[in-house]
Amino acid sequence: MLGLNVTVPHKSAVCLFLSEIDKEASYIGAVNTLVSTPEGFKGYNTDLTGLHRALLSEGIQLSGEEIILLGAGGAARAAAFLCALRGASQVYLLNRSLEKAEAVAREVNQKAERDCIRAMDLDGWKQLPAKKYLVIQGTSVGLAPHTEEAVIEDKAFYELVHTGYDLVYRPAETKFMRLVNEAGGKAFNGLKMLLYQGVEAFELWNNIKVREEDAYFCYEQMKRNWKNMRDRNNNIILTGFMGSGKTTAGIRLSYRLRLPLLDTDKWIEKEEGRTIFEIFALQGEETFRKMETSALRTLLELEGEQIISTGGGLPMREENRELLKKLEQ
């Protein structure tokens, strides 16, 4: 075996079992790519290097750049390390929770041995000099189906942006990107980051360098596939007996595909204000099955694609099976 990929929630935990960790991955404390060596597995973080190659492919340089980074979660934290390690002159880390932003800034500044990350709350941009910045959007805001949301809605903010890079790639154009374009800036989504983190892993496993024309061919294929998916509903329906792993599979698919996960049982519990057990005990199974049908009809009205995890008995009703077919179309 040449190696393997690791995804959430195991990116940090797996580090304990590795024989070696790449220096930059050790800064982040998380790996997503394992390479087999005679001593064991060596861990790398190709999310970080993949983002860098994606930025470079769009002509975006980090060295010497003043950058506004939106968010302080996992993706934004990796982007903060990338900016610090690749020579950004200043990074303004904006987040709803100033405390969380400050924690990320302290960690990155300490490990990168540079005092280049400055934490601010989400309105901190109003304090910045009126000039143009590279902005990296590192939150999940704008992810389908919530495509009409942006982490900062004020159009005055986008007058400060010469280039906006959104780590979100579903939809292909987020509201953040649209606002950047409307203000006269250039905007890119995160699809190339998805591409290049895979390219980086492939190169590590095979000890080769992928030609840029081959990477570009894959990128064009990905764009076409994304367009075809947008032209259809492409909901993913998970069915199976209770305890068969629908929730686990749904969580992993949701992360990898950046699609929302909807659980019909949890949907019903929220709507009814009762647990499934209480509904069965007080109103009976037949009433619950009708609630499942009603939930499916509501899901049909939702825009965008989602991963739908069903209750174990939901497909038993013929009406529900027909509704599931419509959700797949």
* Residue 186 to residues 82, 107, 145, 239, Cα–Cα distance (Å): 21, 31, 24, 42
Q: Annotated catalytic sites, by residue?
A: 11
Picking from 108, 74, 113, 110, the residue whose alpha carbon sits closest to that of residue 92 is 108
C-alpha–C-alpha distance, residues 79 and 66, integer Å: 14
CB-CB contact of 170 with 136 (8 Å): no
Angle 169-174-179 from CA coordinates, rounded to 5°: 140
* Residue 222 to residues 50, 68, 175, 219, Cα–Cα distance (Å): 16, 28, 21, 5
CB-CB contact of 261 with 237 (8 Å): no
CA dihedral angle for residue 217, residue 218, residue 221, residue 226, rounded to 10 degrees: -140
* Residue 220 to residues 54, 107, 217, Cα–Cα distance (Å): 14, 37, 5
C-alpha–C-alpha distance, residues 254 and 252, integer Å: 5
Picking from 114, 64, 113, 122, the residue whose alpha carbon sits closest to that of residue 93 is 122
